[in-house]
Amino acid sequence: MKIRVSQFNSTTDDLTIVIDLLRASTTITVALNNFNKVIPVNSTDKALDLQDNNTILAGEKDLKPIEGFDLSNSPHKIKDYTADTLVLKTTNGTRVLENIYNRNKNIKILIGSAINARAVADKALSLATDEIELIMAGWHGLFSTEDCIGAGLIVEEIVNIANERSIDLDVEESALISKLLASNHDRARELIDTSLAAERLTKHGFKDDIVVCHEISKLDIVPLYKDGKIINL
């Protein structure tokens, strides 16, 4: 089984794990405790078009609240909401999901973060045929520290589970590097907390979200993206 980490664009035709740790991946994972599905969208207008009595709208524009939405893209606050559907306006994460799906609709697309690292690694090993590609969503296509750490935490669990099951792995250098960065969990949390994205969130009053986003393997939820919707496997 080949394991590799890539930035923004996917090339595999097997299975991907998309990581947008601060905050979309974490918000989606936490939300699936209380929602049946999550619909990620790129635009405010599309989100508002999907609004009804059994839908909650979450998202932000430049980390600022959006008029007509119920809350920000907040994994901390989403725990207090329950409905059938969460419509989540994101920029980077949604674009990555759509690009992968539009390139090949047969690809299995999971969503990973620190908070479900063990669970998503376990499910990926069960579902993949010969390759698991971890995709760092980044910030407007650029590298982000927190997504690299998230990828590393998941790679670490993939390696651990593969050893337990005697599964042979071909771990590429990109995955080895991210795993090395995340190997000390206290240091991994520190790197997430001091990332540029975390600094922006702290400045706008979202410190509680960062605390949720750096929790490691706390949830067993594994989000699956297909046909524009995300459900828990």
Q: Which pLDDT score is estimated for 171?
A: 98
Contact 117, 87 (CB under 8 A): no
Q: Which pLDDT score is estimated for 150?
A: 98
β-pair type (55-59, 170-171):
unpaired
**Token pair in block for residue 223:** 């989000």
Q: Which pLDDT score is estimated for 54?
A: 94
Q: Which pLDDT score is estimated for 1?
A: 97
**What phi and psi, each to the nearest 5 degrees, are found at residue 34?**
-120, -10
Q: Which pLDDT score is estimated for 92?
A: 78
What is the third-level CATH fold of 2-23+91-227? putative 2-phosphosulfolactate phosphatase (3.90.1560)
Q: What is the pLDDT along the chain (233 residues), one digit of tens a residue?
A: 999 999 988 999 999 999 999 999 999 999 999 999 999 998 899 999 999 989 999 998 878 889 999 999 999 999 999 999 999 998 778 888 988 999 999 999 999 999 999 999 999 999 999 999 999 998 777 899 999 999 999 999 999 999 999 999 999 999 999 999 999 999 999 999 999 999 999 999 999 999 999 999 999 999 999 999 999 99
Q: Which pLDDT score is estimated for 9?
A: 87
Domain boundary assignment for the chain:
2-23+91-227
The C-alpha torsion from 148 through 152 and 158 to 160, rounded to 10°, is 180
